[in-house]
Amino acid sequence: MTSPQPSTHPTKRAVVTGASSGIGAATVRALRAEGWDVVALARREERLRALAEETGCEWVVGDVLSDESVAAAVASITAGGRVDVLVNNAGGALGLEPIDGADLGKWSAMYELNVVGTYRMTQALLPALRETAGSIVFITSTAAHEPYEGGAGYVAAKYGERVAARTLRLELVGEPLRVIEIAPGMVHTEEFSLVRFDGDQERADGVYANVDRPLLAEDIAEAVRWTVTLPAHVNIDSLVVRPVAQGGSTKVHKGSLGFQD
């Protein structure tokens, strides 16, 4: 009987932005459970430390809105090893007002975060991803695919993120890199709606009230895990994920659906 030989395949390593809560933290957990090395990046150090204690992930404090912060974070990440996947999860919505009364400063902030910040991070890590024939995942939103009343600023920002990803995919044709968009619908996380409504917990809770099983952060993390562990020649261009209760951005069923499990 021969002794088993050690694997010649290096452990995959992913970077997840916006990793201090919600979909980002869930994605760190999912990839760590898959046996990956993971670098969690976010602004809140105390949350990153807690996530590292829980999962054994690496972590680095970084703000995708800052050139200097991203440059320092990427230098630390690449010094620590290879990068096979970048999950661009950092983002968010601010406000739900009609265009007639919208705060355009919030529109600018959403564009800076969801679009400019996302591509600042992508641009900085692209050389490392080229070295590993890696994958770039963009967590957009169903708002990137269809509008809804009160959501114009967020819709515009997420649409911008989505079409820039499509452009990047065209620009990278001929290279063995994957560009993947995952567009979640209604996901009940602890902070998304709370941030959107300036900390109004009652209003945030009302978004999900009487909805039978909105998506959870773990559902989107599983979508990330699946797309990046497919064979290298398979690219999931765009994956829209909604709960059964949601027919579209403006159509949500309230009440029991009678799930059997």
Report, as an integer, the average pLDDT of 214-221: 97
What pLDDT is stored for residue 9 in this prediction? Answer: 59
What pLDDT is stored for residue 1 in this prediction? Answer: 36
Report, as an integer, the average pLDDT of 159-187: 98
Mapped onto helix, strand or coil, the DSSP state of residue 245 is coil
pLDDT tier, 214 (very low <50, low <70, confident <90, very high otherwise): very high
Is 148 a catalytic site residue?
no
Residue 233 has pLDDT above 90, yes or no: yes
Q: Which domain holds residue 244?
A: 13-250
What pLDDT is stored for residue 6 in this prediction? Answer: 41
Which of 5-14, 113-122, 206-215, 250-259 has the largest mean confidence?
A: 113-122
159 domain residue, yes or no = yes
- How far is residue 249 from each of residues 30, 94, 108, 147, measured CA to CA in Å? 27, 17, 22, 7
In whole angstroms, what is the distance from residue 157 CA to residue 113 CA?
Answer: 9
Residue 229 has pLDDT above 50, yes or no: yes
pTM of the model: 0.94
258 domain residue, yes or no = no
Mapped onto helix, strand or coil, the DSSP state of residue 32 is helix
Mapped onto helix, strand or coil, the DSSP state of residue 119 is helix
1 domain residue, yes or no = no
pLDDT in tens, 122-146: 999 999 999 999 999 999 999 999 9
Of the ranges 5-9, 49-53, 84-88, 213-217, which one carries the lowest mean pLDDT score?
5-9
2 domain residue, yes or no = no
Number of domains in the chain: 1
235 domain residue, yes or no = yes
Of the ranges 73-87, 101-115, 135-149, 194-208, which one carries the lowest mean pLDDT score?
194-208
199 domain residue, yes or no = yes
pLDDT tier, 204 (very low <50, low <70, confident <90, very high otherwise): confident
In whole angstroms, what is the distance from residue 87 CA to residue 246 CA?
Answer: 25
In whole angstroms, what is the distance from residue 133 CA to residue 233 CA?
Answer: 11
In whole angstroms, what is the distance from residue 46 CA to residue 135 CA?
Answer: 28
What pLDDT is stored for residue 198 in this prediction? Answer: 83
Distance of CA 226 to the CA centre of its chain: 14
160 CB-side CA count, 13 A? 19
Give me 184's structure tokens.
């979640």
255 domain residue, yes or no = no
- CATH (domain of 212): 3.40.50.720
CA quadruple 138, 217, 54, 232: dihedral sign = negative
Catalytic residue among 111, 119, 154, 159: 154
pLDDT tier, 3 (very low <50, low <70, confident <90, very high otherwise): very low
| Residues across the chain | 261
Report, as an integer, the average pLDDT of 104-127: 98
What pLDDT is stored for residue 197 in this prediction? Answer: 86
In whole angstroms, what is the distance from residue 64 CA to residue 18 CA?
Answer: 9
